[in-house]
């Protein structure tokens, strides 16, 4: 059996022709961040800026995501960020079920390599492709789902918050829920450590 390594993952994504999306892109966007982060965030697919730079969540939605993480004192370089599909769908359309399924082997390999304890699913595409088609983002956001010892929480995609700022209040609640889980599991003790104050 071939060992799963980052080298193999990078090669696999670079060579991938499993669906038609790679025909119209500038760069593949595998994902980036701390390769052993306790927290992974999964979005839908690269947008225009991501396609130009080959990096996930670096456009307007990514900048909002960075601010949301900062609001719970989490620097972006302490998490791992990627998408369901690694190639930009034309005009930012939602990836088809076939495209998402074709790309799932890459996401599975990333999860095996990072081994996160907590995964945040950003938007409906990430939530449905991970937790199943019956997932409804408006109904199920902010809830925890445990799968094989990994805690998963769907929340709104930052692009949805940019389109409809009235959703920001619920998204903020979800970020608090996330911070509580990270604290409970003691995943970032240097950021959320128990107080040493015995006075
Ligand atoms: N939207 C996504 O889902 N992912 C990105 O990387 C950028 C925008």
The answer to whether the predicted template modeling score (pTM) of the entire model surpasses 0.85 is yes
Residue 199 has pLDDT above 50, yes or no: no
φ and ψ at residue 91, rounded to 5 degrees: 55, 25
Alpha carbon of residue 40 to chain centroid: 6
Distance 61 CA to ligand 1 centre (A): 7
Q: pLDDT tens for residues 13-37?
A: 999 999 999 999 999 999 999 999 9
Cα 99 from Cα 93, distance rounded (Å): 12
2: left (phi over 0), alpha (psi -120 to 50) or beta: beta
Query: How confident is the model over 39-50, as pLDDT tens digits?
Result: 999 999 999 999
**What is the average pLDDT value for the chain, to the nearest integer?**
96
pLDDT band at 113 (very low <50, low <70, confident <90, very high): very high
Query: Span 52-57, mean pLDDT?
Result: 98
- Using most ligand atoms within 8 A of CB, pick from 85, 159, 160, 162 the residue to mutate for ligand 1: 159
Could you tell which of 45, 54, 156 is best to mutate to test the pocket of ligand 1, judged by most ligand atoms within 8 Å of the CB?
45
Per-position b or e across 140-177, b if 16+ CB within 10 A of its CB: bbbeebeeeeebbbbbbbbbbbeeeeebbeebeebbeb
| pLDDT above 80 for 198 | no
Express each pLDDT in 77-107 by its tens digit. Answer: 999 999 999 999 999 999 999 999 999 999 9
Q: Are 132 and 109 in contact (CB under 8 A)?
A: no
How many Å separate Cα 27 from the centre of its chain? 19
What does the pLDDT read at residue 171? 98
Predicted pLDDT at 193: 84
Q: What is the pLDDT of residues 135-190, one digit of tens each?
A: 999 999 999 999 999 999 999 999 999 999 999 999 999 999 999 999 999 999 99
Name beta bridge partners: 80. 33, 40
CA of 184 to the centre of ligand 1 (A): 28
CA distance linking residue 53 with residue 95, whole number of Å: 20
pLDDT at 8: 97
Which pLDDT does position 194 carry in this prediction?
66
C-alpha 145/C-alpha 143 separation (Å) is 7
């Amino acid at each position: 059996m071939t060992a799963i390594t980052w080298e193999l993952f990078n090669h696999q994504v670079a060579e991938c022709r499993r669906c038609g999306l790679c025909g119209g892109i500038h760069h593949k966007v595998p994902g980036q961040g701390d390769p052993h982060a306790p927290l992974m965030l999964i979005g839908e697919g690269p947008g225009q800026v991501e396609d130009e730079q080959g990096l996930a969540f670096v456009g307007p939605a990514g900048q909002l995501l960075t601010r949301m993480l900062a609001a719970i004192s989490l620097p972006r370089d302490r998490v791992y960020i990627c998408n369901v599909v690694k190639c930009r769908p034309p005009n930012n359309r939602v990836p088809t079920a076939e495209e998402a399924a074709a790309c799932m082997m890459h996401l599975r390999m990333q999860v095996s390599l990072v081994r996160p304890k907590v995964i945040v699913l950003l938007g409906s595409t990430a939530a449905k492709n991970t937790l199943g088609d019956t997932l409804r983002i408006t109904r199920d956001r902010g809830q925890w789902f445990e799968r094989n010892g990994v805690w998963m929480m769907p929340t709104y995609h930052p692009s949805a918050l940019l389109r409809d700022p009235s959703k920001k209040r619920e998204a903020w609640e979800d970020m608090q829920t996330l911070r509580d889980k990270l604290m409970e599991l003691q995943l970032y003790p240097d950021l959320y450590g128990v107080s040493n104050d015995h006075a």
